[in-house]
């Protein structure tokens, strides 16, 4: 999972978007490490990524203006294709 975390951090950086601007169903190809035991069977792992910004206010408020609000982080969900 460390490989997945590193790859996604470079792909997504910080997603602070909410509502219709979220990252949804982004297809990412992860190239496996040459030391991976199942490299011959899975040279590339395809995942779909969903990411949304988490704020200390409802999405409707953030979407209008995020001034004075606190960005709490990014929720990122991945699933294999």
User: What is residue 65's predicted lDDT score, i.e. its pLDDT?
Assistant: 80
- How is residue 43 written in tokens? 């040279």
Q: Is the pTM of this model over 0.85?
A: no
- How is residue 62 written in tokens? 């953030």
Q: Domain boundaries in the chain? A: 2-80
**Mean local confidence (pLDDT), 33-58:** 81
Which string of b and e fits 30-64 if b means at least 16 CB within 10 Å?
Answer: bebeeeeeeeeeeeebebebebbbebeeebeebee
- More confident position, 43 or 6: 43
User: Is the per-residue pLDDT at 77 higher than 60?
Assistant: yes
Among the listed ranges 3-7, 27-31, 63-67, which one has the minimum average pLDDT value? Answer: 3-7
**Mean local confidence (pLDDT), 21-46:** 78
């Amino acid at each position: 999972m460390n490989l997945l975390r590193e790859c996604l951090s470079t792909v997504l950086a910080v997603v602070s978007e909410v509502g219709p601007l979220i990252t949804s169903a982004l297809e990412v190809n992860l190239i496996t490490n040459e030391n991976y035991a199942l490299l011959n069977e899975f040279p590339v792992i395809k995942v779909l990524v969903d990411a949304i910004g988490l704020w200390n206010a409802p999405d409707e408020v953030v979407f209008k203006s995020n001034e004075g609000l606190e960005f709490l982080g990014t929720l990122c969900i991945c699933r294999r294709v």
